[in-house]
Structure 1
C-alpha cells in the first residue's frame, strides 16, 4: 500500500491494517487524529447489536407464528368436533326420518282415509243442518207451549178466583207469542184469542180487594161499640118527682132511689120489647159475633161468592139491631155503612176461554205434524248430497 493515500480515500478494508503493514511503516511518520482501532470496534459492536435485535425479532415473530398456528389448530379442532357432532345429529335425524318414512301409510290406505274423511264431513254437515232445524223448531215449540200454558192459567184464574185483570194479561201474552210466530196458519187461533180478550174487557170487574179492606175497617169499629144504659122518664117516675120538688141537694134515700132506677123499672105499659143491658162477657160475645159476620163477608167478597157476602152482611145487621142502640151515633153510622156495602157487586160471570185454548192446541198440533213431515222428506235428500260429495271427492 502507498503512504500517499489519505485517510478519506481508504476503504473500510484499508483501515484494517495487518501487523505486518504496521511494522513496515516508517518511523517518524505522522499519526492520524482518529484512532482507527476504536472506530472499527464500535462498528462491530453496533453490527452485533443489530444482528442480535434482528435475531430476537425473528425469534419473537417465530414464537408469535407458533402461537397463532396453535390457536388455529385449536379452532380447527373445535370446528372438526362441531362438524362431527352435526354429522351425528344429521345421521340420527336421517335415521328417524327414515323410520318415519317407513311408517307412512301406503297409497291404498291414503285413499281409504280420504274417502272416510269425505264421509265424515258429509255427516257433520247433515248433523249441523239437523241441529239448526231442531233448535229452531224447539224455540218455536217452547213458545207455543208457553202460549198454551198461559191460556190454561188464565182459565184457572177465572174459574177459581174470578180474577179478570190477571186473565186478561195472560190471554194478551199468549196472543203476543202467536204474533211473534208470523205464521198465516195461526189466524184461527188469534181470532179466538181476540174474541176472548174482548169478552174479558167487557166483563164487570168489581173491586173485591177494596171491598175486603173496607170490611176490615168496619171490623175495627166494632170494638168501639158500647151499649148505652136506658134513661127512663115519665110523669109518674121518680126523676120527675125529684125535679118537681126543686130540691137542690137530694137526701140519701133520694140518691139511692135514683141509682136503683137505672137498673130496675116498673112499667105498667109493657107492650114494647125491653132490651137487656149488655155488660162484661155478654158485650164481648156480641162484639165477637158481629166481627165474625163481617169476616165472613170479607171471605165472600174476596172469592166472589155473592150469596155468602149478602148473608154475612144481613147477619151483621141483625146482630147490630138486636144488641145495640140504634140511636147511638156509632151504631147508626156502622149500620149505614153495612147497608151501603151490601149493594156492591162481588160476583162476576167470567167468559169461557175453552174455544181459544182449543184453537191454540190445534195450531200447535198442525205445526208439529208439518215439521215431522219435513224431517222425513229431508233425510233422503241429505243422504243423496253426501253420496254426491263422496263421488266428487278428488282421487
Structure 2
C-alpha cells in the first residue's frame, strides 16, 4: 500500500534517539529542530531510533522530547518498523509490521540525522544513507568517523599543524594485558588528567583524575562506554569554542564568533553532562568571548583548519583551550554538536548573525546541493 505524497514541500526525515549513551540528548535536539523548522517550506517526517536500533515513526507533540531531569526522553519500541529503501534513484520510507502488507510513506528529499555518539555520529548511519543514495545533513562517512574518535582526530589535527595537548590512547587489550604499564604511561603525563571514552560525546563517561589513586575507577567508568580510551593531560586555559558552517559551492568554511564556556564551580570540576544539559545555571556561554581581536581572528582560522583536516561538511563545533601564554590548543571537533535552541553551536551563530531557524534552513540547503557518493 502506498501513501501518496500530499505536499510539494521539501520532505525532511529527522532521525533521532539512537543506540548510544547520548540517546536522550539526541531526542532533545530533535525537539528543538521540530519546534523551529519552517513549516511553510519543509514537511517533517520524525523517525525515532530506539536503543536497540529499531526505527519507528514518531507521532504526537514535539514537546514530549524535551529534557526533564527526572524523566529523560526515550524512543520506545513499536510493532511498526520504518525502513529506508532506494529505487528509481530516490529514497523511500516503508513501514513494515508483522502479518501486514508493507506501507509506503513515499520518498524523502533529505535526511537530517540528529544523532549523537556511536551508531549515529560516527559514520555508521552516514554509510547507510550513502548506500540508500539519499542526501543528508552534516559530515560524511570519513569525517564522522574521524571526528567521533578522540585518538584519530588528534592524529588528523597534528598532521594539519594544529597544537594538540599530551595524551595516551589505551586499548582494551593493553589494559587487560598490562594495566600497570598504562598507569605508568598516564603517570608520565602528570596529574590532573582527563579519562575519556574514545568514541563518546556530551561528556559521557569522562572523569577528571587528580591523582593515581583515582585512575582505576575513572578507567572503569570510561570503559562502560567504550573499550578504547584517551587519557589527556590537564591543560590550564580558558575553554573557547567556535562554530563552523560549510561554505556554499567552492567557498571556504564559514566560522562563528568564538564563545567561552564558564563553569560556575560548585560540584562541577569541568563541563560535564549535568552542567551541559540538566542544571541551567551550572555553566554559561559568553559570546563573543572576551579575547583580543587578534586571538578571535586566530581561533576562527584554526577552527576552519580543523574542519578541513577531517574533511568536514555541513557543520561542526571546534573546542580549544586558550592558555595564559596566548596559545590555542585544540581539544576536539564535534561533527554533530548539540543543536537545541540554547546549545552552544546555535548560540554562537545567533551572535554572529544567523538565527536558529535560518541555520536549520542553511544546513538543509547545503545538504540538498551536495551530491551523494564520492565527492
Q: Higher relative contact order by CA 8 Å / sep ≥ 6: 1 or 2?
A: 1
**Whose strand fraction is larger, Structure 1's or Structure 2's?**
2
The answer to whether the superposition gives a TM-score over 0.5 is no
- TM-score after normalising by structure 2: 0.18
- TM-score after normalising by structure 1: 0.18
Pick the structure with greater CA Rg: 1
**Whose helix fraction is larger, Structure 1's or Structure 2's?**
1
